[in-house]
Amino acid sequence: MQFMLLFSRQGKLRLQKWYAPLSDTQKKKISREVIQMVLARKPKMCSFLEWRDLKIVYKRYASLYFCCAVEDQENELITLEIIHRYVELLDKYFGSVCELDIIFNFEKAYYILDEFILGGEAQETSKKNVLKAIEQADMLQEEAETPRSVLEEIGLT
């Protein structure tokens, strides 16, 4: 896989993961192009698109589009299920996930993705194992919590 983008129906990028070395300007250009292309598609159309040397595989879940760019020889259907498994992982972790969860906890969305896919390839396809890894990290996190000042609690710093 070369990259994965999550974006809203309004074309706002919610998550971007790049597995190929590209400059920031290239990334911006590609995101714009791909988002525009996918948003122009009608509901019943097929989920695959040829784009440059790559294949775009996308699927819409509620208000969010999940979109992967894979190499030409890659399997489209299994990529579609990569997307679905990621959605399941987010859903299970956040408890019926919605776009806001991903906006406010974007770092978690990245952590979960890293546990599932690394370097553009599936690392662990078992839902249980991925969530176990995240859970363990969260446990470490809680142990590390320290008391904070009042100002901090109300979010003023």
Instruction: Return d(Cα 87, Cα 59) in angstroms, integer.
Output: 11
Residue with tokens 């991903």: 102
Beta pairing partners, 70: 55
Instruction: Return d(Cα 85, Cα 30) in angstroms, integer.
Output: 25
What does the block give as tokens for 65? Answer: 């589009």
Q: From the CB of 49, what's the least distance to other proteins, in Å?
A: 6
Q: From the CB of 114, what's the least distance to other proteins, in Å?
A: 5
Q: Which is nearer to other proteins, 62 or 77 (CB)?
A: 77
Q: From the CB of 25, what's the least distance to other proteins, in Å?
A: 11
Q: Which is nearer to other proteins, 60 or 92 (CB)?
A: 92
Q: Which is nearer to other proteins, 49 or 64 (CB)?
A: 49
Assess contact for 19 and 2: CB atoms under 8 A. yes
